[in-house]
Amino acid sequence: MSKRPIDNRTLSIVAQAQREHFTITGCAHCGGPEIHSQASPLKKSMGCGASTEQAHVTVASRRRQCKRCKRFFRTTVEYLTCAGCRGKLKAPEDAPKVIRKVGQNRLNLPSNAAVGGVA
């Protein structure tokens, strides 16, 4: 396929795709923008007009709320915290570990059997 010039229509399509958080990559044929479908495994180049089929649907980013600072962030992975809060957390080996003892419930109260209740 031949390379088409980027016109105003193409620019408006790419701008709308960015606002709707579509995945946009570079075309292998012409180097122009390539927009991936969110529902089917297709992608279309805006530079040369080539439409190709992928093996699977491209994962779209989702809007999530950070559990620590309550800010909204976009990610493709199911993170519970934003990048800023993840950087502030301790390393896994330094983080305190929760140890559950046998015979204790979630509130760390002794079970009925340990208190002398019904065995």
Domain membership of residue 82 (yes or no) is yes
CB 31 within 8 A of CB 47: yes
| Radius of gyration of the chain measured on its C-alpha atoms | 25
Domain membership of residue 106 (yes or no) is no
Would you state the pLDDT for residue 95?
A: 46
pLDDT (tens digit per residue) in 66-96: 888 888 988 877 788 888 888 776 555 554 4
- Both 31 and 66 in a single domain? no
Give me the domain span that covers residue 86. 62-91
CB 61 within 8 A of CB 74: yes
Q: What percent of the chain has pLDDT over 90?
A: 1
Domain membership of residue 36 (yes or no) is yes
**Residue 51 reports pLDDT greater than 80:** yes
* Measured distance CA(112)–CA(27) in Å, rounded: 66
* Measured distance CA(69)–CA(81) in Å, rounded: 8
CB 34 within 8 A of CB 24: yes
Whole-angstrom CA distances from 107 to 39, 61, 103 are 44, 37, 11
Mean pLDDT of the chain: 75
For residue 61, give every residue at least 6 positions away whose Cβ sits within 8 Å of its Cβ, in sequence order, or none. Answer: 21, 23, 74, 75, 76
pTM over 0.75: no
- Both 46 and 70 in a single domain? no
Total of domains in the chain? 2
- Both 17 and 46 in a single domain? yes
